[in-house]
Each structure stands twice: as structure tokens, then as C-alpha cells.
Homo-oligomer: A and B are copies of this chain.
């Protein structure tokens, strides 16, 4: 974890990045969420990461409550960790469209129907990117 590097940023994004903003963090979460990795060695196989760094990241995720480590040593995502899925999906979709196509498509596990990240309003209407801003603080 980055700790309090972004502490002066009164912003949810900054606080999120204190937990997942280090190198390799997002790729580890991607593999945990979408490749079903749970073991230290699973991540070592797909990520060309230094062993000490992987160890540090996994411990950090446990400390931050994104993962729990079972008695057998397996790292399981918590609800907090699983809730991070849309971030990975949005990042993947952006890379897919603007950097270069990849082999990844998101689907439901049961019906296998495609699923995408979208911007929607209260009534469920799709909202164009350019129209979206932040609500000014009072």
C-alpha cells in the first residue's frame, strides 16, 4: 500500500489509489478476479513479478481487506475485493479500444451473455461520456 502519499487529496479516487496504486497491484487483482488465481504460485506463473514484490502485494491486500488468506494459504477475494471488478473492466475496455485489441471479453458465468461497463442515469438511460461531470461541492 502507498500509505498516505495522496493524503491531501480529499477524494475517493485518491484514497482508493493508496490501496491499489502501486505497480502490479491491478494486474494481481485482475488475475484473482478473472483468472481464478488464489495461490502465490498462480500469480508467479502469469505475472513476471519479483517474488518479494508479490509477497508484499498479497499481504497488503489482506491487510487492506481485499483478500483473506485461508488456512491452506489460498488468497480469496472478499466482497470488498470483488467490488473492484468494474474498475478492471473499464480499464480493460479502454485498453482494448484505444491501445490495442486484446482477447478479453466479459460475460456472465451462467448464460455467457456479454457484459459491459456503461454510464447510466437513475432511470437507466445511457449517458454519453462528454456529458458527465462532477457535482459541485456545496
Contacts and interface: CB of A to CB of B under 8 A. Distances in A.
A109 B94 contact: no
A97 B83 contact: yes
A21 interface: yes
Given A105-B134, A108-B132, A134-B104, A13 B88 contact: yes
Q: Is the interface of A mostly helix, strand, loop or mixed?
A: mixed
Contacts of A86: 90, 93-94, 117, 119, 129
A110 to B, nearest CB: 6
Contacts of A44: none
Interface size class of A (residues with CB under 8 A): 35 or more
Interface string A19-47: 10101001100100011000000000011
Interface of A: 2, 5-6, 8-19, 21, 23, 26-27, 30, 34-35, 46-48, 80, 82-110, 112-122, 124, 127, 129-135, 137
Given A104-B11, A116-B119, A119-B115, A16 B133 contact: no
